[in-house]
Structure 1
């Protein structure tokens, strides 16, 4: 019997065991707000202040970030699974009923537990994704909030400290 092995499926299943925070990446296309749920976000540097996001090349958000040159990472809290699902869905107006502030040229979600607004410093090809290195222009966070996590294909929360 020949065993079939699909490395991409196995890799995806393996990486799903890495618990990650859930964020909504926001930007603009002209005057239209654009957003998507993402978990491939990481701090990169303190000098200069930089972070990175990885966006699939097939996604309109990738084009919008490249054209607008600015994006926000909105970190979701444990009570924001509805926002994660909303921005992961394929629908025309993901911002309907979602409160935002637009003081920094991109929409920032009012319900986010943290937000970082960045200018694109670099766009680096990364296989079927683009790695955007963002230079931090503004950041804010709420104290004593816990993040929404993505693990094994579903959403989860941190347990309260004992």
Structure 2
């Protein structure tokens, strides 16, 4: 016996065709994240840096993160050559810095305040970051047009009071604004169920009496 197929959940069709690669950019843009600037020091003591939102934790012990960076970027080549990197997580007022380091401008470090503390993996964007991590590259895996760079973190510094810059659907958002909107009210607990009425106890004839026991209806 044949069975009628069940309708599938409503999904907006994509643009991929048979044999064509799917475009995952709409998918990833719908996954909001923080914004960082990855920095390092290239040969000749030249600072390098690029904006990055593809960052994730890998392990707590050893403390490791992964950065997914465009392989052709000069910053990636400098990171792999030096073996050291700094991850600057931008605060919510640092959108101009994010745009600057995403633009490829040659003078980006001349237009941004930065420092290179002793033992730093790369320039620290002290005025633009709410948290900065220094680390050592432990592994790099090139896949397609990007390279996954695994970094073992050696130290982390945070600026108390600064909140993160967010990015998703090709737009920026401030953490303060995003968290200021109250969430939906909590659902009220269901009312307690009414107790069932008590039933009268049956009356049974005493033991030893003649006839069948009678039960009062």
The normalised TM-score by structure 2 is 0.69
> Who is 2:208 aligned against?
none
Deviation at 1:126, TM superposition (A): 2.5
> Who is 1:5 aligned against?
16
Deviation at 1:5, TM superposition (A): 2.8
RMSD: 1.8
5+ long unaligned stretches in structure 1? none
Greater RCO (Cα-Cα under 8 Å, separation 6 or more): 1
Per-residue CA deviation, residues 92-127 of structure 1 (Å, 9 max, x unaligned), is 121013111211152111021001111101111232
Stretch of structure 1 that moved more, 71-80 or 104-113: 104-113
Per-residue CA deviation, residues 54-85 of structure 1 (Å, 9 max, x unaligned), is 11111111100010100111000110000000
Deviation at 1:46, TM superposition (A): 1.1
Alignment of 1:138-149 (within 5 A): 138-149=155-166
- Which secondary structure state, in structure 2, belongs to the residue aligned with residue 95 of structure 1? helix
5+ long unaligned stretches in structure 2? 1-13, 183-217
Alignment of 1:36-115 (within 5 A): 36-103=50-117, 104-111=120-127, 112-115=129-132
Structure with more strand by fraction: 1
Deviation at 1:130, TM superposition (A): 0.8
Give the total of aligned pairs.
160
Stretch of structure 1 that moved more, 95-104 or 82-91: 95-104
> Who is 1:131 aligned against?
148
Who wins on radius of gyration, i.e. which is larger?
2
The normalised TM-score by structure 1 is 0.91
